[in-house]
Amino acid sequence: MMKRTVMFGVLVGALLGAAVPSWAVDLKWGGDYRLRGFYIDNLTDADKNTQDSAAYYSSRFLLTLAATEDNVSGVVTLAAGTDGTNGNRLLGATSFGPDASGVGLVEAYIKADFTTWGIKGGRAIYKLGNGILLDDAVDGVWLNFGLGGMALTVATLKLVEVTDATVVGIGNGGAGTGTGDDADLYVLNLGGLGGMMPSGINLNLFATYLTDRDSTLLVGLPGDTTVTTIGAAADAPMGPVRFKGELDFLTGEFDDGSGTTVDLSGLNLVVGVKIDAGIVPIGVDLIYTSGQDPSAANEVNINGLSGNYPVGIIIANTGARSLNYRDGTCLSVGGFPTYPGGSESCIGGLGLTAIKLSTGLKLGPPTLDVAAIYARATEEPVPGADTDIGIELDAMLTWALTKRLSASGGIGYLMSGDIYGPNADEQTVLVTQLAYTF
């Protein structure tokens, strides 16, 4: 009896094993936890007589899971943290008892790589060039083609999805059905051009076309908007010297709703050189971006869509004083006399003309980075106004406590220029961070 039972069990196991498919999926997961503390003073108006100082914390947790089988991968990145509406809390809307904290979806995409081409679809973080124009999570489909040592990317991206009230279906189409106020971006990027140049040089050429069907993304006025961008980004290490730069031309137009066509135009030029010879490295960055001419009635300045390029701890940096998971902004200041920078300055901003000198020093486990930035708005806020933003001094000390845990603390100090008005007070941002990556 025992022998029959054993044999029956072996037979059932063999049949089940034949029926169940064999999975060879490679699962990988990782993420990071970041806790930041802030203190800001005089940042909203550069006036010490107005109460605008604040101290608060922000917390961000990212978790990425990637499943890969053969040449196909599925990737999901989730984010949990401060909701962004208020400070003085870490993970919820209240500091008492259970809270209603939510989890945000940063990325969710499928990617398949073949011998000479690949495809990716879903929601993913996409960086164009050096991030001056766009560096954010977007929905879209990417096609990648290998051309020898070069790579061609063709993408269609959905930046804004606003549907109308009509149910979309065959036979019930109407005016605007299925389009709503959508904003779509089409991208053509040719990278890896450094293979045609001396070793180590990387050059990207790209062109984009944006159609915003009701100015939902850009201007906020009724009427169609179109923007064409042509740009080039380069990264060239040459021994102890490293060169990095980008040049962007933007042009387009929108209908202001009354039948009048308004032109959109912009220019970005960023050049950086870092010399890593000797004990102390030296970096020099030159920045010029166009701004809104206050006397131009039928022309609006544009410098990007959702840029992520922090210049300093204060200038063109929201992450060092807000709850945003991105640090940088478009390279165009605006909103004076409020803070110098912000995503709203991608459209109608005053531009930025700046020079940044930076260096660093290794003190054993800790590393000290310091920088000095002189900045002006490229255009006047109003005709005849001053454009001097001021001089920012930054210092950041980072300590690798373990292989994956680091602590850092820094200060940004802006000696306010006359763009804030005569006798404006200095602006200060203190930031601390504890980060764990796994």
Q: In this predicted model, what pLDDT tens digit does every residue of 346-368 receive, in sequence order?
A: 888 899 999 999 999 888 889 99
* Nearest-angstrom CA–CA distance, 375 and 291: 14
4 occurs within a structural domain: no
* Nearest-angstrom CA–CA distance, 366 and 403: 13
Whether 3 shows a pLDDT value over 50: the answer reads no
19 occurs within a structural domain: no
39 occurs within a structural domain: yes
Query: Measured between alpha carbons, how far apart are the two ends of the chain, in Å?
Result: 54
Residue 11's pLDDT band (boundaries 50, 70, 90)? Answer: very low
Mean pLDDT across 175-181: 52
The answer, yes or no, to whether the previous bond of 337 is cis (omega within 30 of 0) is yes
262 contacts 299 by C-beta, under 8 angstroms: yes
Q: What is the pLDDT of residue 79?
A: 86
CATH of the domain at 179: 2.40.160.100
Q: In this predicted model, what pLDDT tens digit does every residue of 237-287 receive, in sequence order?
A: 888 899 999 999 999 998 766 777 889 999 999 999 999 877 789 999 999
235 contacts 191 by C-beta, under 8 angstroms: no
Q: What is the pLDDT of residue 23?
A: 57
The total number of residues written for the chain in this structure: 438
- What is the domain range of residue 405? 26-92+101-166+175-437
Q: What is the pLDDT of residue 222?
A: 62
Whether 15 shows a pLDDT value over 80: the answer reads no
15 occurs within a structural domain: no
Give the lowest-confidence range in 81-85, 289-293, 406-410: 81-85
What share of the chain has pLDDT > 70, as a percent? 76
Q: What is the pLDDT of residue 298?
A: 83
Average pLDDT score, the chain: 81
426 occurs within a structural domain: yes
42 contacts 428 by C-beta, under 8 angstroms: yes
5 occurs within a structural domain: no
Q: What is the pLDDT of residue 50?
A: 75
Mean pLDDT across 88-98: 52
262 contacts 272 by C-beta, under 8 angstroms: no
Better pLDDT: 331 or 222? 331
How far is the CA of 169 from the CAs of 118, 174, 183, 279, in angstroms? Answer: 31, 10, 21, 67
Comparing C-alpha atoms, which of 220, 332, 317, 323 is closest to residue 266?
332
SS (H, E, C) the chain: CHHHHHHHHHHHHHHHHHHCCCCCCEEEEEEEEEEEEEEEECCCCCCCCCCCCEEEEEEEEEEEEEEEECCEEEEEEEEEECCCCCCCCCCCCCCCCCCCCCEEEEEEEEEEECCCEEEEEEEEEEEECCCCCEEEEEEEEEEEEEECCEEEEEEEEEEECCCCCCCCCCCCCCCCCCCCCCEEEEEEEEECHHHHCCCCCEEEEEEEEEEECCCCCCCCCCCCEEEEEEEEEEEEEECCEEEEEEEEEEEEEEECCCCCEEEEEEEEEEEEEEECCCCCCEEEEEEEECCCCCCCCCEEEECCCECCCCCCCCCCECCCCCCCCCCECCCCCCCCCCCCCCHHHHECCCCEEEEEEEEEEECCCEEEEEEEEEEECCCCCCCCCCCEEEEEEEEEEEEECCCCEEEEEEEEEEEECHHHCCCCCCEEEEEEEEEEEC
Q: What's the one-letter identity of residue 385?
A: A
3 occurs within a structural domain: no
Mean pLDDT across 171-186: 62
Number of domains observed in the structure of the chain:
1
* Nearest-angstrom CA–CA distance, 240 and 275: 6
111 occurs within a structural domain: yes
Whether 315 shows a pLDDT value over 80: the answer reads yes
Whether 184 shows a pLDDT value over 80: the answer reads yes
Give the lowest-confidence range in 295-299, 338-342, 351-355, 419-423: 338-342
Q: What is the pLDDT of residue 271?
A: 97
Backbone angles phi, psi at 91, to 5 degrees: -125, 0
